[in-house]
Amino acid sequence: MLLRYSPTSPYVRKVTVAAEEIGLADHLTWQHTNPWVPESDIGTHNPLGKIPALVLDSGETLYESDLICEYLDSLHAGEKLFPPEGERRWRALKLHALADGMLDSAVHRIVENNKRPAELYWADWDAYQQRKIDRGLDALEADPDRLEERLTIGQIAVACALGFLDFRFPSVAWRETRPHLAAWYDAFAKRPSMQKTVPQQPS
């Protein structure tokens, strides 16, 4: 299976951490892809023009990180990252949805701050996105028990979202008012899957 990836994408990191956790990372081959350049051919594998995209050995392509993670999870017989049924499933998917939404807002902020021409910067939109991130962080801080459950895709997604905030927005001091979340993340970030996938600034 070929993963079209970038080492700084938090959505790719989520897929990679999931693959590490379920023991499938060695089944992936990698193609570095910058989806933002007009000449990128990512559209041949994902009409939406985004990474991650997973090209299966059959030639079929899967895109959207949640779908890719669930597909990988279907390939192993161990404890599932996507609980198959019951309350645990909905809790995990809700956590995943919250973390992905926070990531989407963080990516909007990056577009606003780094990609849009400076004279078109829209401060209200930027602040609007940060408020979504802040509310997400507050929701996670208010419900630390959710994060203590057995490993699911929800926790992986939350950890990748927090890691992305640290990577791209170090001035957002989210730990200051969220000690439970900070303690949980600091412990989770020690997992080998997280250590192996720490994003690096491109040289």
Ligand X SMILES: N[C@@H](CCC(=O)N[C@@H](CS)C(=O)NCC(=O)O)C(=O)O
Specify the residue, 51 or 153, whose C-beta has the smaller distance to ligand X: 51
Q: Work out how close the CB of 79 gets to ligand X at its nearest, in angstroms, rounded to a whole number.
A: 23
Within 19-48, the residues that bind ligand X by CB under 6 A are 35-36
CA distance 126 to 111: 9
Q: Work out how close the CB of 60 gets to ligand X at its nearest, in angstroms, rounded to a whole number.
A: 17
Specify the residue, 103 or 178, whose C-beta has the smaller distance to ligand X: 103
CA distance 14 to 19: 9
Q: Please report the DSSP string for 107-161 in residue order.
A: HHHHIIIIIS-GGG--HHHHHHHHHHHHHHHHHHHH-HHHHHSS--HHHHHHHHH
Q: Is 49 in the site for ligand X (CB under 6 A)?
A: yes
**Segment near ligand X (CB under 6 A); pick from 49-57, 77-85, 137-145, 194-202:** 49-57
Give the contacts of 29 (CB within 8 A, at least 6 positions apart): 1, 2, 3
Q: Is 9 in the site for ligand X (CB under 6 A)?
A: yes
Residue ranges that bind ligand X, judged by CB under 6 A? 9, 11, 35-36, 49-52, 64-66, 107
